[in-house]
Amino acid sequence: MNQKQTQCKQIVDYIRNKGCITSLEAYQNLKVTRLAARITDLEGRGFVFAKPKYKVGNCKNPVAHYSIAKSGIEP
């Protein structure tokens, strides 16, 4: 549980600093492999996220860019 809280805090801090985060950025910069699961954890704490999807490079599927729309209880 402590690892999840630490990852959630890292994600919130990253988004507040950079504006948004993708799963690739979460892995490369924070070593978080399950960003969507941590986003769900944060939503359980009252956070609301904007989740627009954009086509990136030659990727076949669009990539979600998570940003905080409303803050919740801090991790």
- Would residue 24 count as lying in a domain? yes
pLDDT digits (tens, 9 = 90+) for 7-16: 999 999 999 9
Q: Is 9 within a domain?
A: yes
The number of folded domains in the chain is 1
What does the pLDDT read at residue 3?
Answer: 63
Average pLDDT estimate for 41-49: 96
Residue 65 lies in a domain: yes
How does pLDDT run across 13-33, given as a tens digit for each residue?
999 999 999 999 999 999 999
**What is the CATH classification number for the domain harbouring 58?**
1.10.10
Tell me, yes or no, whether 39 lies in a domain: yes
* In the predicted structure, residue 4 carries a pLDDT above the cut 80: no
Residue pair 26/35 in contact (Cβ under 8 Å)? The answer is yes
Structural domain boundaries, residue 29 = 2-70
